[in-house]
Every structure is written in C-alpha cells, then in structure tokens.
Structure 1
C-alpha cells in the first residue's frame, strides 16, 4: 500500500451504519448545522444567585472585635480602682458565632452589626452597673475570607470587605485573569456546590456577579477545550480553541488551511461522539439511545459549502480530518510505477556492463 495521511472518502463512507459500520455519516446542510449546534451553558445555581450581599458591618465567625466599656462609677465591675474604662482587645468570634464578655456572658455576634452587639452588651450590663457605655469595633481584614487561585495575576487569600463583597470586585482585587479574558473561565466552589461562568459573561449579565461568602474558593482557568486536526491539512496536531465559538472554517484556518496540492475540498470530515438529544434531532431518529458516533461531511466546492463550513460548530474533542485528493494518490501511484521502472532500467544497465 502506498503511503498516505489516512483513510480516503470511500473507506470512511464504508464505516457508515448503512454499510453495517458503527458510525452515522451525515452530509452537512443548513438544517444539520443548526441541529448540531450546542452551546454548553455555564452559570450559577439559585443557591449562588439568591445569596444576599454580606453587609459591610455584619460580623462573622472568626472576626476579631475590640470592646471598650465605660462605667459611671469609680469602682466598677470591670474597671480597676480609679479607672472608669475597660478595653477588651482581640476578642475573637468563635466558630459558633459567639463572644464572651465578663458579667454579660455569651453574646451572639455572628450575623449582627457592631451597633447591635453594643446594644446587647449594654442591656446585659445595665442591670449590674449604672449607665454603662459600650463601643464595639471590628478589626479590618479578619474573619470572612475568599481564596483566589489559578490563572489570576495575584493568587492569595483575600478578606471580604466593603469593596470586595462580590465576585467581580474580588477578581479585580486579585489583579484579574492572567490569560486572555475571552477564554477565561471562573469557577466558584462553596461547600458542596460549584458554579462556573465565562469571565466575560460576568460583565454581560449583572446577575452573575454573585455575592461572596466566607470560605468561598474562586478558581480562574484557561479554556480547556481542544480539537484534533488530521489528514491533508497544514498541520496535524491538537489545537486549543482560543475563542469561545469555533466554526469548521475557522478550525481549518487555525491549522494552515487545506494543502493546495494534496487536499480534497469535497472530503472534509468532523468526527465526534454526539449526545443523544442532538443525534436524535440531526438524524430524525427518536429511537436512538445514548451517545452516537457521528461523522459530519463538508464539501467546500458546493455553492453553499463555505457558508456551511462557517456555520458548522466545532466542539470539544472533535476530530477534523481532511482526505487527500484523488490526484494525489494517482501521482503517488505514477511515481511508484515510474520509480520502479527507472530502478529496473538502472539494474539492467549495471548487469550489461
């Protein structure tokens, strides 16, 4: 067998289900191009979308508070002899959301503002010391934090503060994606829930700019999708998408286009394992079960061929295969025959000398 880049058109068509093969071979039309189009939807569940923004003054477990208590007597409950003010610094809110204040007991701090905590402590102490005055402040940077990692300019652990309570603000705080924004994806992990969104969609749809919660993990990733190019193309390789949407025409251009002296523009194939719903729509076969092996055929020489190649969408892990032109195989045969004849003549000349 003569060397070649892969199977020819006849061999591919021989693998069709109609020929007792295991793949459906489908010629791409306008209807097929529309039916085979599938945009993988990213987004956040209601658990993410319905979460309200944490108030700028809301205390959370892990926050550190500072309390100052003034008593209207010389010898108060907390203050020493001759002093009327007591400072309680670095009072950390425990995992259950409580703090302990002498003579006031355990106070629920998480979910309250410093002002609400001040009123609670004042009421608790008022029955024990005359006219107590309480001031409560939260130390900045403690408590609620978010971890930002991946393809981001500034990986790290960031506090949820007034300017960084939403996803876009936190990403900006971390310096933004270190890859092309068009192909950057943002994943948010919150407990057992995960949401993913295209980075650019955060600015196209305000509802995706979700409120952050303590312990959220934000991962920025480059688009992991790719396709494989084989056959009589400018390059045979695995190619990353680099754009959110990629047509068959763009995929061919990405690998240098067709080889003018070798490619068959009537034999461009896209191979994929098609999901059940799309296979049923493309083939008009509601009886199909499970994913199906599909081979889509593009013919660039048809009047609508280039438009169809422009409209047909390439998806993750597709294989784009271009067959060799019949002339190329004929040239190889001719070369092999003439080469063999030339070799025989050389042998004959050597034997006659």
Structure 2
C-alpha cells in the first residue's frame, strides 16, 4: 500500500466522522430558527404567540402606521397672547401742553435713567418680575402678567389722568421671553418668540430644516401632557395639520424617526429607517433587495413585534405583549397582503432559512474536503 493511498483512507475516515457529527449535532451554524421551529414554539406555555397573516385578519393589521391624530386639542383659534414674567417692557408717557407733571427739563442721558423732555417721560426698559409687576413713577407697581400692552396703557393712563394734563401712554414689548416655544433640532435648543399675528407649525421649518430633507422630516409637538407627530411634507397639503402654536409648546425635529431591523435569509441584514407615512412589508423586503434565492424559506417570513395592540391581539389574548406574525409568500394572495401589512417602529422582519440550507452548507464543506483529496489521488496515479 502506497503512502498516498494511506493518506487517502485517513481522510475518508475523518470525513466519515464529520458526517456523523453533522447528522447528530448542531454542527452547522444558522442565521436563526427555522419556520417549523418557530411554529412549534407557540405550543409551549408562555411562549410568544404566532399569528398567521391571512385574508380574514389583514384588514385589522393594515390600518396605517399610526392612528389618525385627534386634532380637537390642536385645532384651536389663534392664541390671545398675554404678558408674563421675564418679558422686557419699555414705557413712554407724555402730556398735552401746558405740561403740568412732565414739564421740567431734567433729561437722563443713559438708557438706564429716566428721561424727561418737552413733556415726555421715557422709562428705561423693565423686566416683568417673577411676581408679575413693573414699576411706573407717579403710579407705583403695575401688574403685567396675564395682561396685554393695551391693558397696561389704560391702567397707567387712568392713574396719571388725576395729576397730569391729558396724559398719553405707550407700552412697547422689547423682548418676548414669555410667549415663546422651544425647538429641539440636531442636539440644540432654539427659542421662537410668538407674535400677535399667530405662528403656525409650518413657521418652524425655515429655522431648523434643510429644504432637501423635508420629505424625511417629522415634527413632534408636545403641549402639556399631549403629543402629536406631523410629517413636514404634509403641512402644505393638509391645512388641518398646520395648526397655531401656543406658548410653552415644544417642537422636536426628527429625521426618519422610526426603524425596523431585517434579519435572516434576506439579501441584506440591516436597519431600515422610515417616517410617519409608514412602511409596508412589501417596501421593507424591497429595500433589502428581496429574499435570498439560495437560503430563504418563502413560507417563513416573520414579523416580531414587542407590543401587540388591542386589535392585533384579539385573536391571541396578548394585549401589550410580544407577538409574532407569519406570512406564507407562496400563497397566491400573499403579494396583496404584503402591500397592506404595515410595519411599526422597532419591528423585526425575519426570513427563516429553507430546510435544505444546512444541507447545502454541508455539501459545500464536503466538496472543499474531497476536491483536494481527489486532485492529489489523480496526481499520484
């Protein structure tokens, strides 16, 4: 027996051991559970339920990415802005000749002093105190919070009319610190003062959004304990969504704020971002270049969802609990259903391996082992 023949027999023996190991243990790695393993798992108590997507339940699973927002809270009239603590006000007063109260000729030269000239009294700028007051000479403390500039003018004029000759008063808002909204974008915070004309949601965009990113931008508006998300591209198309902003509102600018993860036997295992217009199962599969022809089991396309809604869980009694949806793409109506099934934020789209995938892997390993051996034997002969 030649040395090469002995080596060949040793390799064949090793190959036999490899085959035995592959047949009796988890020798070959996989990308995840198979279709049959996931289906079997639902028979185990406390395991995540598996719900097949079919023509009977697809209607309840295709209602859109999010429920239509209740616009009752947001569809309000233009806000009637009032002064508040922190606002900066400047008061000017004068009286008709002959000036009785403001007729003296003492003139203040700095902006922090009181200037009297020709019957006109210009007060320095004042910040409305935390208690809500400003101080006016000859009048005293005047409440400013919760009032308009016109109200303050009337109050001061009423006091001066008793000691001045036909007094007139103008109150001017120098700095609007109370009636404003906060905008959070790209890790920075901005303040947008509101004016009597009334600012709508679309007025936020020029301050924070590149026009090229409008289609991928959403605005998350918080008011008190309520929130609403509006797609920026919808503001010019739907007037109801372009509502008035109110003091204290917070607007967070989001770029593609939602994602799903795609795993298993797809042509690309990746994270897919999407916006408030939603993402269908068909679009998600297309964005990852479809199912892998050599690995995927078209009967085992799964969507793992961490929180089932009441409508979704009605068949499996799993409200608020994880749920798994399965779709068999070999069925004739499957293409219609993937177009209607809407994915949600943080869903996992998983494509299981076909049953023959492990066999293909194993045969490729066998080929890599036997090919060099066969070539060696041919050379020795």
TM-score, normalisation: structure 1: 0.80
Partner of 1:306, secondary structure, is helix
- Indicate how the Cα distance of structure 1 residues 300 and 344 shifts in structure 2: closer, same or farther if over 3 A, else same: same
Taking the aligned partners of 1:265 and 1:50, their CA distance within structure 2 comes to 50
Partner of 2:298: 265
Q: Are 1:198 and 2:230 matched, yes or no?
A: yes
Partner of 1:77: 101
Partner of 1:166: 200
CA contact (8 A) 1:71 1:85 kept: no
Taking the aligned partners of 1:122 and 1:112, their CA distance within structure 2 comes to 15
Partner of 1:2, secondary structure, is coil
Deviation digits for residues 160-219 of structure 1, max 9, x if unmatched? Answer: 2245533322x14515466733442323345x5352321345445544444334444322
Partner of 2:14: none
CA contact (8 A) 2:93 2:167 kept: no
Taking the aligned partners of 1:3 and 1:43, their CA distance within structure 2 comes to 46
Matches within 5 A, 1:239-254: 239-242=272-275, 244-254=277-287
TM-fit CA distance, 1:3: 3.5
- Indicate how the Cα distance of structure 1 residues 22 and 100 shifts in structure 2: closer, same or farther if over 3 A, else same: same
Query: Quick one: which of 148, 151, 155 aligns to 1:120?
Result: 155
TM-fit CA distance, 1:22: 0.9
CA contact (8 A) 1:54 1:213 kept: no
Matches within 5 A, 1:53-132: 53-54=79-80, 59-61=83-85, 62-74=87-99, 76-81=100-105, 83-132=118-167
TM-fit CA distance, 1:83: 4.0
Deviation digits for residues 13-36 of structure 1, max 9, x if unmatched? Answer: 22123x557122222102222223
Partner of 1:229: 262
Q: Are 1:316 and 2:345 matched, yes or no?
A: yes
Partner of 2:41: 15
- Indicate how the Cα distance of structure 1 residues 37 and 274 shifts in structure 2: closer, same or farther if over 3 A, else same: farther
TM-fit CA distance, 1:251: 0.7
Q: Are 1:6 and 2:40 matched, yes or no?
A: no
Partner of 2:11: none
Taking the aligned partners of 2:354 and 2:102, their CA distance within structure 1 comes to 94
Deviation digits for residues 81-137 of structure 1, max 9, x if unmatched? Answer: 594322224243333443222222222334444443333222211222333233333
Partner of 1:180, secondary structure, is helix
CA contact (8 A) 1:60 1:144 kept: yes
Taking the aligned partners of 1:256 and 1:102, their CA distance within structure 2 comes to 76
- Indicate how the Cα distance of structure 1 residues 239 and 215 shifts in structure 2: closer, same or farther if over 3 A, else same: same
TM-fit CA distance, 1:332: 2.7
CA contact (8 A) 1:79 1:86 kept: no
Taking the aligned partners of 1:332 and 1:176, their CA distance within structure 2 comes to 49
CA contact (8 A) 1:43 1:195 kept: no
Partner of 1:30, secondary structure, is coil
Partner of 2:344, secondary structure, is coil
Partner of 2:221: 188
CA contact (8 A) 2:307 2:323 kept: yes
- Which structure 2 residue ranges, 5 or more long, are not aligned? 1-26, 106-116
Task: Report which of the two structures shows the higher radius of gyration computed on alpha carbons.
Answer: 2
- Indicate how the Cα distance of structure 1 residues 279 and 210 shifts in structure 2: closer, same or farther if over 3 A, else same: closer
TM-fit CA distance, 1:269: 1.5
Partner of 1:293: 322
Taking the aligned partners of 2:192 and 2:322, their CA distance within structure 1 comes to 47
Question: What RMSD in Å do the two structures reach over aligned CA positions?
Answer: 3.4
Partner of 1:328: 357
- Which structure 1 residue ranges, 5 or more long, are not aligned? none
Deviation digits for residues 282-340 of structure 1, max 9, x if unmatched? Answer: x2x5xx35433322221222111111111112112111111233343333333344445
CA contact (8 A) 2:95 2:164 kept: no
Bigger mean CA deviation after superposition, 300-309 or 159-168: 159-168
TM-score, normalisation: structure 2: 0.75
